[in-house]
Amino acid sequence: MPVATPCYYVVSAVNISGESTNSNPVSVILTPITSVPQAPTGLNATAAIGQVSLNWNAPSNTASYYVKRSTVLGGAYTTVAAVLTASSVDASVTNGTRYYYVVTATNFLGESPASSPVTIMTPLLFPTNLPVTASSYDTGLPGPASYGNDGNTGTRWGSAFSDPQWIRVDLGSTKSIYKVVLRWEAAYGKAFQIQTSNDGTNWANIYTTTTGTGGTQTLSNLSGSGRYVRMNGTQRGTQYGYSLFELEVY
C-alpha cells in the first residue's frame, strides 16, 4: 500500500440470516518511514536456571529486533534471536556464566545502533552435601556442621552460645560467588560477614551487616571468588548460638 495514501475501512457483521450494513467508515493515512529505528532503550535482563529473560522499550518504526550476546563487555556480540516483539528469552545459556546483551531494531531501511549493554550472571544449581566445617556445634537438638548444607530444611546446624562463631563450605575449587542464601532458625546472626578464601586461612569480606533480621536472607549481587565461603558471626541475635537450616552458595 503506497504511503501518504488515505485508506478507508468499514466493518460488517454476519450470522446465518445474512450480513449487516456497514459501520461508519474510518480513514488512515500511512506515515512515510524515512530512517532506520533508533536504538532500543531500557534493556533489562533477569536470570533463572537455564535461561535469561530480556525486555526493552520499543522504538518507533520498528519491524523486528536482533538480540545479541557476548561473554565479554564490548563484544564481539553474536545474534542469538530475531523477534517481532520487545521481549525475548535466551534458553541457550550456561549456568554460572556472566553474559552481556545488546538489542538492535530493524525495518526495511536497515538496522539501528545497538542498545546500551546489560550484564547478567546465570545462577548455578545450589550444590548440597559439600564438605562443611564450623567453629563449634551444639551437642543438643541441632546437629553438626554438615546439617547446614544437606539440602534438608528439617535439619540444622547450631553453634555454641557465644561469639564469634562461623560455618564454612568447601566448593572444591575457586568459584565466582554472586549470591548467598542464609536460612536461619530462630537463633540468627545480627552481625555477621560473608567471607571468601582460596586457602581457608586468609579471608575477604564480600558482605557485611550489623542489622541481620533472621528468617531467610537472600544476599544478591555479591562480587567475589574463592574455594571456601563462610558465614562469620560476630553478634548473635538471641541468647542462643547461631543456627542455620541451610547455607546456600551460588
Look at residue 3 in the predicted model and tell me its pLDDT. Answer: 53
How far is C-alpha 137 from the geometric centre of its chain's CA atoms?
A: 34
Look at residue 207 in the predicted model and tell me its pLDDT. Answer: 98
- Residue 180, Cβ neighbours under 10 Å: how many? 23
pLDDT exceeds cutoff 50 at 203: yes
Contact 187, 153 (CB under 8 A): no
Look at residue 49 in the predicted model and tell me its pLDDT. Answer: 80
Looking up cell 540444622 gives 156
Average pLDDT of the chain to the nearest whole number: 92
Question: According to CATH, what is the number of the domain 132-249?
Answer: 2.60.120.260
Per-residue pLDDT, averaged over 72-85, amounts to 94
* Peptide linkage before 59 cis (omega within 30 of 0): no
Domains of the chain by residue range: 41-121, 132-249
What percent of the chain is modeled with pLDDT above 90? Answer: 76
pLDDT exceeds cutoff 50 at 1: no
Question: Which homologous superfamily does the CATH classification assign to the domain defined by 41-121?
Answer: Immunoglobulins (2.60.40.10)
**Grid cell listed for 40:** 532500543
Contact 83, 40 (CB under 8 A): no
Please give the single-letter amino acid code of residue 22.
Answer: N
pLDDT interval class at 193 (50, 70, 90): very high
Look at residue 196 in the predicted model and tell me its pLDDT. Answer: 97
Distance CA 225, CA 11 (A): 64
CB-based burial label for 173 (10 Å; 0-12, 13-18, 19+):
exposed
Look at residue 141 in the predicted model and tell me its pLDDT. Answer: 67
Per-residue pLDDT, averaged over 60-66, amounts to 95
pLDDT for 124-174, tens place per residue?
Answer: 766 788 999 999 988 766 789 999 999 899 999 999 999 999 999 999 999
**Lowest model confidence (mean pLDDT) among 40-54, 128-142, 148-162, 205-219:** 128-142
Q: Do domains 41-121 and 132-249 have the same CATH topology?
A: no
Distance CA 41, CA 79 (A): 18
pLDDT exceeds cutoff 90 at 250: no
pLDDT exceeds cutoff 60 at 194: yes
Look at residue 178 in the predicted model and tell me its pLDDT. Answer: 84
Look at residue 198 in the predicted model and tell me its pLDDT. Answer: 97
